[in-house]
Structure 1
């Protein structure tokens, strides 16, 4: 599935946060009673889950604020931090009428999911966490560097293309990744979006927002699967092991031959694990 096919099937919903308004782009597939919310990370969008979302009977896949095809309503800048994404997801679920969901989350999406589970446990039925931001493991040096203001002011579309090519092209195990790489680049390059947008996302990866809920992790008592790319050098299995030691109701599955973009590297194994774990 190409990213243009994916976008053609997206819907949107208006969500208000404390200080801002957004038109959340999202894709919804299936009609089952058990809803699974898929939450991407940086610098991706809902298309990240294109090969695996079919494991859920009823999948809801939004683009977070500052990512993909979600639009900020109004002028000026806006928050893109995990605090904001958590609030955004709460409002998003309210607008769609979903009181509680299963969650599949990757990267900073996992940081938002952990915050949601810590602050609103009644909303989270099950968790699948893949190579997620947690404790003080984020931002990694590559992402931190993308957010340096002095460099970002001079950044061009060509610079953004090169950095994303490195992140996705070199960051996947297989060579058959052209469709994936093109899809990940598209929201940053195929639209009227400033080259600095990537920096705004990167600078919002605040360690404080994961440490803020670290003490709550042992109290997140929902069935949790740590479905991890075993060869990830950005967020290694060391962090999954730490989560496994703190979460009270946890299973682990580490997929070899998979880097950070584990659902791209091992889509069949990832989807099968979801099918077995989700309700």
Structure 2
């Protein structure tokens, strides 16, 4: 599915982040017990397009764009940290009327899921973390540099597009990259407002928001789907999570950081086997 078709099928809700009302775009398909997918930085819900469709065939699937990302609101002036993203997702879940959910998170989205499951164990039945931030594993230098305030003032749209294209091409596994995926990852960052937004997103990467939660508080049955070649969130962090979460299985996949894209078939098979 091309990115423009994905966004054309999105809904939108007004969620509250602290005292700010912010628009959050999301896909919502299927019926049954809900599964929430949440991406990381600098991606959007399109990252999970294949897994979303597979799950929506048998269950209700919800895939938001985090606030400040994708097709969600990008205006300056609200928090985009994973603490704030957790508030936004919880508000969306409440508006959709769900008491409990299954949660699938990649990168920062995994950090949101980890907080959600540790702080309210009764709210998450099953948890899937893919190359997730945890403990003090983050932020990485690339994101720290991107989050400098002068980056927003000094970077053009063209420069940001070139940087993102290089980032994904250099860190996707192998050489045969899906141009539709690359288009979907870059398109949201193609305006001056989005340049500021991605910088604010990067500056909001706060290690304290994972170090303040204890993964041993997670009671959800947990699956870790991890790229074994990840240079951003190495598999050692997954091994630590596996030791700290009571009911947890780690599956390593030969992939870099973008595992749902690098190993689409294997990732989807493991995911649906766990959730369906």
TM-score by length of 2: 0.95
Unpaired runs of at least 5, structure 1: none
CA distance in 2, matches of 1:121, 1:5: 35
Aligned partner of 2:273 in structure 1 is: 276
CA distance in 1, matches of 2:198, 2:128: 26
CA distance in 1, matches of 2:239, 2:186: 32
Q: Report if the CA contact (8 A) 2:118-2:216 is conserved.
A: no
Q: Report if the CA contact (8 A) 2:29-2:60 is conserved.
A: yes
Secondary structure of 1:24's aligned partner? strand
CA distance in 2, matches of 1:70, 1:240: 30
What is the deviation of 1:102? 0.3
Aligned partner of 1:207 in structure 2 is: 207
Aligned partner of 1:224 in structure 2 is: 222
Aligned 1:158-197 pairs, distance under 5 A: 158-174=158-174, 175-189=176-190, 191=191, 193-197=193-197
Deviation sequence 1:69-119 (CA, Å, 0-9, x none): 1126xx751100111011111101011111110001000001111111111
CA distance in 2, matches of 1:118, 1:220: 5
Deviation sequence 1:172-193 (CA, Å, 0-9, x none): 113232111110001111x562
CA distance in 1, matches of 2:37, 2:194: 26
What is the deviation of 1:58? 1.5
1:266 equivalent to 2:263? Answer yes
Aligned 1:83-162 pairs, distance under 5 A: 83-162=83-162
What is the deviation of 1:152? 3.0
Secondary structure of 1:205's aligned partner? coil
Aligned partner of 2:16 in structure 1 is: 16
Secondary structure of 2:201's aligned partner? helix
1:53 equivalent to 2:52? Answer yes
Aligned partner of 1:254 in structure 2 is: 252
What is the deviation of 1:54? 2.7
Q: Report if the CA contact (8 A) 2:14-2:24 is conserved.
A: yes
CA distance in 1, matches of 2:246, 2:42: 30
Q: Report if the CA contact (8 A) 2:76-2:196 is conserved.
A: no
| Closer/same/farther in 2, CA of residues 71 and 265 from structure 1, 3 Å limit | same
What is the deviation of 1:55? 3.3
| Closer/same/farther in 2, CA of residues 11 and 172 from structure 1, 3 Å limit | same
Secondary structure of 2:50's aligned partner? coil
CA distance in 2, matches of 1:8, 1:188: 17
Deviation sequence 1:146-182 (CA, Å, 0-9, x none): 1112333201111111111122122111323211111
Q: Report how many aligned residue pairs link the two structures.
A: 272
What is the deviation of 1:226? 0.4
What is the deviation of 1:196? 2.0
Deviation sequence 1:205-264 (CA, Å, 0-9, x none): 111111111xx21121110000011111110111001101111000111001x1100000
What is the deviation of 1:18? 2.4
Q: CA RMSD in A?
A: 1.3
CA distance in 1, matches of 2:34, 2:260: 20
CA distance in 2, matches of 1:161, 1:18: 31
